[in-house]
Chain A
Amino acid sequence: MAAKIITITSGKGGVGKTTATANIGAALAKNGNKVACIDADIGLRNLDVVLGLENRIVYDLVDAVEGRCRLRQAMIRDKHIPGLFLIPSAQTRDKTAVSPSDMVRICDELRPDLDWILIDSPAGIERGFRNAIAPADEIIIITNPEISAVRDADRIIGLIEAEEKGPGQLIINRLDFKMVQQKNMISADDVVDLLAIELLGIVPEDKEVIISTNQGVPISTDDSSLAGRAFCNIARRLEGETVPFLDLEGSKGLLKRFTSIFGSGGN
């Protein structure tokens, strides 16, 4: 085994990096993979909360980097999903506690025993971001269909390309199809058109996400939720499967474009 290392980043805060990391990690583990999620947001720890593992933390990433524990000891096994592990960040330190080469070293040590390593990047373009992308084999850029988030995503893609890690794959999170139809929200097409990178998935706006986040149970374990299914599809696409995009109103161009090509000249 040699894990693939994927960093999830966005530039802007609050677009869903941590939620995506937890849910894609859970979905990959559910499919039988061994997955470690690393919280690289040192000083603002929260991936543990989303995974419902906050009360199990004994050692964290900084402890492992600074040699106060073995890396294994900092890995927390998930309660519900076998094969899912979390390496939490330190809450009492800041981004300078870890360097990009530390991250590379940690990931190299983990790589042989796992299938996937997901790194939850902090917002911003400074040290924390560079720590998070240093070991990445692939980078997922997550954005919301909002001009400000898309602008930051564009900047991030530029930085990733400069680091020769690019161009990365895109997740559009919290798309509200009704709002797109009413022309009150930019569409997935507009976002993809501007950023011009490969689209990995679209996650619809779903109130259930907030509930699951608060409960510490990733929504991708719940098949009845639309957002959960979107995250599962993303995980399957990462595994190399071709999964069609969810048939959702308003995502014209992704599905409907095909129907309009193959349809007999309708509309």
Chain B
Amino acid sequence: MQTKKIEIKGIKDGLLIKIGSGKWAKQEKALLEHINSQKDFFQGGRLALDVGNHILKAATLGALRDTLFDSDVKLWAILSDSPTTEKAAQALGLATRLTKPSPPQLRDRPSPAIRGEAALLVHRTFRSGQKVKHPSHIIILGDVNPGAEIIAGGSIIVWGHLRGVAHAGAEGDSKAVVCALDLSPTQLRIADRISVSPPGGKDVQPEVARLEDGQVVAHPWNQA
């Protein structure tokens, strides 16, 4: 019986690809071909690899990690049934298990009187070169540094400094707002409008930016 060569699954932390049994060289080739054939999909992605029973040395895993890196895919975990492979993966600083399963989702809907909307809550600082994109709202507990990008279908709330690029209402929602404790973005976009922070310093205070008559306008939080 031939096992299916590649099985791809989306997980919380990127993608999980399961490698079938059969010669490793063949499987590896198939994997790389698959990734290269769908570059756009994999680019910038985080990849966990379930290698099953394959016994792999650190050199093999290291080489694979480097090859993947060249395609802009970050290999961060190796799942394996072989202790040798696990050890090799650990030597390379790769994780050997996926993070704890996320707790069961809250099934209870808020009472009909309170209509909640989905949002992505991220508890971290976004550094230069890091990016988050979400179809709904995005809430960030942390800073957004210059060179980082936050793109939301809805509104963006930053509990921290917003110094990077923020795009709220990325799919055209002109009612979206951007709030931050310190609203000093490199560039601020709401729907199809683009604005930049006025030059010169300002007092740091929480502000809300929204579209008013087609212009991006920021107000102090207590006057919004």
Residues of A that sit less than 8 Å from B by CB: 99-101, 104, 127, 130, 134, 147, 151-152, 154-155, 157-159, 161-165, 194, 196
Contacts and interface: CB of A to CB of B under 8 A. Distances in A.
A152 to B, nearest CB: 7
A99 B129 CA distance: 24
Contacts of A147: 146
Given A101-B62, A154-B147, A162-B76, 14 more contacts: A100-B65, A101-B91, A101-B92, A104-B91, A130-B66, A154-B145, A155-B127, A157-B127, A158-B128, A158-B130, A159-B129, A194-B163, A196-B125, A196-B143
B118 interface: no
Interface in B28-48: none
Q: Which of B58, B66, B128, B147 gathers the greatest number of chain A CB atoms within 10 Å?
A: B128
A155 B129 contact: yes
B221 interface: no
Contact of A101 (B58, B69, B127, B145): B58
A127 B66 CA distance: 8
B59 interface: yes
B127 A154 contact: yes
A157 B127 CA distance: 8
B114 interface: no
Given A158-B129, A158-B130, A151 B92 contact: no
Contacts of B58: 101, 104
Nearest to B95: A164
Contacts of A159: 129
A161 B129 CA distance: 13
A154 B144 CA distance: 11
A130 B69 contact: yes
B146 A154 contact: yes
Contacts of B74: 162
Contacts of A154: 127-128, 145-147
Contacts of B95: 164
A155 B65 CA distance: 20
Contacts, number: 55
A158 B127 contact: yes
A224 B146 CA distance: 38
B113 interface: no
Contacts of A99: 59, 62-63, 66
B7 to A, nearest CB: 25
B93 interface: yes
A236 B63 CA distance: 37
Contacts of A100: 62, 65-66, 92
B93 A134 contact: yes
A3 B131 CA distance: 37
A194 B145 CA distance: 7
A138 B44 CA distance: 25
A104 B127 contact: no
A102 B65 CA distance: 14
B93 A165 contact: yes
Q: Which of B62, B126, B163 gathers the greatest number of chain A CB atoms within 10 Å?
A: B62
Interface string B123-159: 0011111100000000000010111000000000000
29 contacts: A99-B59, A99-B63, A100-B92, A101-B62, A101-B91, A104-B58, A104-B91, A130-B66, A130-B69, A147-B146, A151-B147, A152-B128, A154-B127, A154-B145, A154-B146, A154-B147, A157-B127, A158-B126, A158-B128, A159-B129, A161-B127, A162-B74, A164-B93, A165-B93, A194-B143, A194-B145, A194-B146, A194-B163, A196-B143
Nearest to B65: A100
A215 B50 CA distance: 54
Contacts of B91: 101, 104
A141 B129 CA distance: 17
